[in-house]
DNA sequence: CCGCATCCCGATAGATACTG
DNA sequence: CAGTATCTATCGGGATGCGG
């Protein structure tokens, strides 16, 4: 598909960003990319996130049908989150973001060494 | 490059998102993807952005070496912005975001029609 | 273990007016 | 035309405590 530079595409980009907005959503999706995870494991995996934010961000993602929430009748209760098929369609984007981030960090480190 | 689900990659993703964060940066880059543009044209192209935001977001992008700023000695003065080669490396990501946004909108519209 | 409720603060960004 | 300055409203998100 050919993307042209016009308002339609600016809006399309914005639609996507609206769903991924906030400090944590992309990281949550990235963490779920390769496996379902429990709430507490997600919180360990994602450095610095509070339970409140994890909970509310997951709810947003659930509303947008990117993740499913499964309550397990363990004692005490545990909850598993997992990407939906639809959520999986974001995987490629996440991978690109990660690759770019890695390259960017290299570039920054290179600069630091130069000086 | 193989991306694994580990903290390193969550951080890499976050590095990228930090650079693209805020309501407007991605749209600005998208607008500049296929041509350099003047300040006023950018403001027309990007629905709803104020001069203040456009100015400060462009400054951030310039600091991160994603765009260049060129003052033309016209009367009155005009300023052109254009993606750097480094900024161009974000083009693929933007395209993916746009494609996903288009698909997502289709999905949403489908839902609306269903109900 | 999971997650909601409340309180609170700093960052973000909109409106408006002004300048070289 | 391309910004800057100021003022304000809003929002993200941290801390803490409670409840199922």
| pLDDT tens digit sequence for B46-55 | 999 999 999 9
Output the distance from A73 CA to D9 C1' rounded to whole Å: 45
Output the distance from A84 CA to C3 C1' rounded to whole Å: 22
Task: Assess whether A49 (CB) lies less than 7 A from strand D.
Answer: yes
- Say which residue, B113 or A109, is predicted with more confidence: A109
Identify which of B64, B52, B59 has the alpha carbon closest to the alpha carbon of residue B17. B64
**Structure-block tokens of residue B94:** 């933007």
Element (H, E) at B16: helix B7-20
Hey, CA dihedral for A113, B60, B17, B97, is it positive or negative? negative
Is B98 in CB contact (< 8 Å) with chain A? yes
The label of the residue with tokens 């974001």 reads A90
CB A26 within 8 A of CB A46: no
Domains and CATH numbers, chain A: 24-109 (1.10.10.10)
- How far apart are the CA of B75 and the nearest CA of chain A, in angstroms? 28
**Structure-block tokens of residue A40:** 């507490």
Is A95 in CB contact (< 8 Å) with chain B? yes
Size of interface A-B (CB pairs under 8 A): 124
Q: Output phi, psi for B65, to 5 deg.
A: 60, 35
Query: What's the confidence (pLDDT) of residue A112?
Result: 60
Name the nucleotide nearest B54; use CA and C1': D3
Output the distance from B51 CA to C16 C1' rounded to whole Å: 12
Is B4 in CB contact (< 8 Å) with chain A? yes
Q: B47 to chain A: which residues are within 8 Å by CB?
A: 7, 10-11
Find and list the nucleotides of strand D having atoms within 7 Å of a protein beta carbon: 1-6, 12-17, 20
Is A100 in CB contact (< 8 Å) with chain B? yes
Tell me the per-residue pLDDT of B53-107, one tens digit each, with 9 for 90 and over: 999 999 999 999 999 999 999 988 999 999 999 999 999 999 999 999 999 989 8
E-strand spans in chain B?
Answer: 37-38, 67-72, 78-83
How far apart CA A66 and CA A69 sit, in angstroms, is 10
Instruction: State pTM to two decimals.
Output: 0.90
Range of lowest pLDDT (A7-11, A50-54, A78-82, A95-99): A7-11
Question: Mapping DSSP to helix (H, G, I), strand (E, B) and coil, where does residue B32 land?
Answer: helix
């Amino acid at each position: 598909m050919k993307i042209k530079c016009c308002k339609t595409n600016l809006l399309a980009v914005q639609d996507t960003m609206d769903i991924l907005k906030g400090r944590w959503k992309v990281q949550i999706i990235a963490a779920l990319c390769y496996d379902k995870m429990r709430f507490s494991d997600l919180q360990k995996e994602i450095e610095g996130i509070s339970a409140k934010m994890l909970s509310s961000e997951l709810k947003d993602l659930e509303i947008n049908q990117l993740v499913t929430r499964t309550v397990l009748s363990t004692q005490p209760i545990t909850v598993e989150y997992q990407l939906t098929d639809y959520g999986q369609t974001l995987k490629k984007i996440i991978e690109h973001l990660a690759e770019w981030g890695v390259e960017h960090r290299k570039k920054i480190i290179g600069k630091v060494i130069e000086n």
